[in-house]
């Protein structure tokens, strides 16, 4: 459970950062798939986990870079741009894998999937480490401050001498990179690289972010809130599983929760100010 969550968790961190700068990255879901597939193929060819990790990160980063350049440099709309790269990434994942799970992942990877420390799976530790690194990046560095300010008011950022382009491109790169890591972790969770692994995650990822109260307008929200949103969602899901609620009813409850959560977060934010 926790292990599966770290895929969503890592992807949601990327989405949170993109939301905070006032954008959206719909491609996260299928970039997870694409990097899983390509990484799986690379590992099948070389039998090296290290190369697999590098490949996954590289693929994710490349997609992020493409998104970032199109949005930050050429000024295309984030929604359409990432919708298009979402399609492209999915296509690549399916073409390269011929639509089936990639075989031949190294044995060591399964061991890694079962590895745990202090009773907590290693992948969860990785997720936590990424959370902490990103929180530091966002709240303790100038880059993070610039990100928040651009999300709050892009024009004012430009008029204050903040490098809007660089920050914007880099945030999409980071979001892609995190999707790449999430893709790799999905292989270690499932034992295989599945071409459709990320497709259904988009709802969960955006759901977790908005449930945490980070709005799409930019400049308002935090990673900690997203972690809270994920916590809420996963407690809910495991609770519902426990009492035997079928997955389709869980979908209904999730939808309602996302809606009510967003609404409450909006009300609370309005009241605070």
Partner 1 sequence: MKSTLNSIISKQKWLPIALANMVFAALLAIVSPVFLTLSNFQSMLIQSGVTAIMAIGMTFIIITAGIDISMGAILFFCSALFAQLLQDTQSYWLAFSAAIACATLLGTINGVLVTRFKISPLITTLATYSIYRGMAIHLTGAQNIPVPREMGFLGNGKLFGLPVPIILLIVIFILGVYLLNHTRLGLYAKAIGSSARSANESNLPVTKVTVAVYAIGGMVTGISALILLARVGGLQSGIGIGIEFTVIAAVILGGTKLTGGSGTIVGSVFGAFFLVLIDNGLNLVNASPYIYDIVRGSVLLAAVAVDRLSAKRQESRLIQIKKQRLEHNHATN
Partner 2 sequence: MLNDNNTPLLSFRGLTKSFSGKTVVNGVSFDLYPGQVVGLIGENGAGKSTTKNMLCGLLEPTAGKIFVNGQLVEKNEGHVHGISAVHQELSLFGALTVAENMCIGQLPGSATKINWKKVEEIAQEQLDFLGIEIDTSATVESLGAGKQQIVEIGKALLHADKVLILDEPTTSLTAVEREKLFVLIDKLSTRGIAIIFISHFLEEIYRVCDHYIVLRDGTQVDSGLLANVPQRKLEEMMVGRTIDNANVQHSQPHGGEALRVEQLSSADFKDVSFNVKQGEILGIAGLMGAGRTEVAEAIFGLRPSTGSVYINGVKTENRTVDSMKQLSACYLPEDRRTNGLFLNRPVRENLSAAAIYRFIKQGITKLGFAGESHVSQKIVNDMGIAIPHIEVRVDALSGGNQQKVLLSRWMATEPKLFILDEPTKGVDIGAKFDIHTKIINLAKNGAAIVIVSSDLPELLNVSQRILVMRRGKMVGEFQREAFDSVKIISLAASSNDKGEGR
Residues that bind partner 1 (CB under 8 A): 24, 70, 74-77, 79-81, 83-92, 94-95, 98-99, 199, 203, 206-207, 210, 216, 246-256, 258-259, 262-263, 266
Q: Let me know: does 168 contact 71? Beta carbons within 8 Å.
A: yes
The whole-angstrom separation of Cα 127 and Cα 143 is: 21
Using DSSP's 3-state secondary structure scheme, residue 121 falls into strand
x/- map, 77-116, partner 2, by CB under 8 A: ----------------------------------------
Q: How far is the CB of 220 from partner 2 (least distance, A)?
A: 5
Q: How far is the CB of 136 from partner 2 (least distance, A)?
A: 6
Task: Name which of residues 180 to 219 contact partner 2 (CB under 8 A).
Answer: 217, 219
- Tell me how far CA of residue 74 lies from CA of 67, 68, 120, 161, 250, in angstroms: 10, 9, 44, 19, 40
Instruction: Give whichever of 174 and 237 is closer to partner 2, judged by the CB atom.
Output: 174
- 161: partner contacted, choices partner 1, partner 2, none (Cβ within 5-8 A by kind): partner 2
Q: Let me know: does 231 contact 124? Beta carbons within 8 Å.
A: no
Query: 105 φ, ψ to 5°?
Result: -75, 150
Among residues 48, 116, 153, 250, the one that binds partner 2 under rule CB under 8 A: 153
Instruction: Give whichever of 94 and 130 is closer to partner 1, judged by the CB atom.
Output: 94
Q: Let me know: does 17 contact 138? Beta carbons within 8 Å.
A: yes
């Amino acid at each position: 459970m926790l292990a599966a969550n770290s895929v969503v968790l890592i992807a949601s961190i990327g989405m949170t950062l993109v939301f905070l700068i006032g954008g959206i990255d719909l491609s996260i879901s299928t970039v997870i798939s694409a990097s899983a597939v390509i990484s799986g193929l690379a590992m099948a060819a070389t039998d090296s986990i290290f190369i697999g990790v590098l490949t996954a990160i590289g693929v994710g980063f490349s997609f992020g870079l493409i998104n970032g350049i199109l949005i930050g440099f050429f000024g295309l709309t984030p929604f359409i741009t990432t919708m298009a790269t979402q399609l492209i990434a999915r296509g690549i994942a399916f073409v390269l894998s011929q639509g089936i799970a990639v075989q031949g992942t190294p044995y060591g990877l399964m061991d890694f999937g079962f590895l745990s420390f202090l009773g907590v799976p290693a992948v969860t530790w990785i997720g936590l480490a990424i959370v902490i690194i990103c929180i530091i990046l966002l709240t303790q560095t100038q880059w993070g401050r610039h990100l928040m300010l651009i999300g709050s008011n892009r024009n004012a950022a430009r008029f204050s001498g903040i490098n809007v382009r660089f920050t914007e491109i880099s945030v999409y790169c980071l979001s892609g990179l995190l999707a790449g890591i999430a893709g790799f972790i999905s292989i270690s969770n499932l034992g295989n690289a599945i071409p459709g692994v990320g497709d259904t995650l988009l709802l969960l990822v955006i759901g977790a972010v908005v449930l945490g109260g980070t709005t799409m307008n930019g400049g308002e929200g935090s990673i900690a809130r997203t972690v809270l949103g994920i916590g809420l969602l996963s407690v809910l899901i495991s609770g519902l599983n426990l009492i035997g609620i079928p997955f389709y009813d869980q979908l209904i409850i999730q939808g309602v929760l996302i809606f009510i959560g967003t609404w409450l977060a909006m009300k609370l934010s309005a009241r605070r100010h």
